[in-house]
Amino acid sequence: MAFVNIAIDGPAGAGKSSLSKAVSAALGYIYVDTGALYRAVGLFMLRSGIDPKDADAVCASLGGVRVTLRFVDGQQRVFLADEDVSDAIRTPEASMAASDVSAFPPVRDFLFSLQRDIAAANNCIMDGRDIGTVVLPDAQVKVFLTASAETRAERRCKELAEKGMPTPFEDVLADIVQRDYNDSHRAIAPLRQADDAVLLDTSDLDFDAALAALMDIIKERVQ
């Protein structure tokens, strides 16, 4: 049986995760947040006292990383060994560590088959940076979701405040600009729009309008 795969790529804070979650609920697909995998690897390094920027040390310790995804009612939880780290991976430190470790080819190889295997066995909407370009080049639907850095920083600030982690706008914006730069300038699997992806800019769209636009793109391609 062939499963439907929807690939959503774009920079941090473009709305990938909230929109993908809404699509997954509407279509009954699982939602796979691949950033959580890189965050889990980053968190593992921080907890092990390993500098996430130290390629040799990070790659040498990958053998000890046991990262898995589990789906409960279509909701993804990410585990390091037997610990559910779904909340622990959301701190600014884990974000930056994820961005750092994601630049190393062995880390990307390490997470590649995990992502591919899930997509081969499920109808899914998967979001990340290289899903349409590298992980699922044959996905039926590819969308590159973006928004201005300021819009994305505003959204992230709101999200962090709602989660009880209020953070100054300037810090969030600086973090987003730095991560955009890291993610699009790394040598391997940089953030870029796949040639056959549809560009959706949500800077001037509220959530409902963005969701409607995304659902239209999907419906045109999936019967």
Task: Give the footprint of ligand DC on this chain (CB under 6 A).
Answer: 12, 34-35, 38-39, 95, 98-99, 102, 128-131, 179, 183
Residue 185 or residue 219: which is nearer to ligand DC going by CB? 185
Residue 15 or residue 128: which is nearer to ligand DC going by CB? 128
Inter-CA distances, 58 with 3, 15, 107, 128, Å: 34, 29, 8, 21
Shortest reach from residue 64's CB to ligand DC, in Å: 20
Residue 28 or residue 138: which is nearer to ligand DC going by CB? 138
Contact 33, 127 (CB under 8 A): yes
CA angle 215, 10, 217 (to 5 degrees): 20
Shortest reach from residue 138's CB to ligand DC, in Å: 16
Residue 94 or residue 220: which is nearer to ligand DC going by CB? 94
Shortest reach from residue 130's CB to ligand DC, in Å: 5
Shortest reach from residue 98's CB to ligand DC, in Å: 4
d(CA 202, CA 213): 9
Closest to 197 (Cα-Cα) out of 143, 153, 145, 157:
143
Shortest reach from residue 57's CB to ligand DC, in Å: 19
Residue 17 or residue 218: which is nearer to ligand DC going by CB? 17
> What's the 3-state SS for 15-62?
CHHHHHHHHHHHHCCEEEECHHHHHHHHHHHHHCCCCCCCHHHHHHCH
Give me 85's structure tokens: 């780290």
Beta-bridge mates of residue 60:
none
